[in-house]
Amino acid sequence: MSATDLMRLHVVVEGHVQGVGFRAFVQDQCMRLSLSGWVRNRWDGSVEVLAEGPRKELDTLLAALYRGPRSAHVSGMSTEWLDSTGELSGFRVRMTSNE
């Protein structure tokens, strides 16, 4: 697999990540990296991210998620790498989910 292969990254970020601009931070990062997908808060206090694009850019996003915006504190993340489906276009903030 090369760094240009398209992949899908699903991440759930835990910690002090709601009410601190985390979703806007993720959206800015993904738009800067030309990734497609979405970000949303979850009722359990975590933030969920689904992004598609080249593996190299997704690795860059993953490093940014560990840092988060200045007022956030990331205490844990679960990540899942999947094959790209190509069904996502653009990057948006979605409504809160109870999943």
Catalytic residues: 23, 41
Q: Cα–Cα distance between 27 and 80 in angstroms, integer?
A: 19
Q: Compute φ and ψ for 74, nearest 5 degrees.
A: -90, 120
- Name 99's Cβ contacts closer than 8 Å, sequence gap at least 6: 42, 48
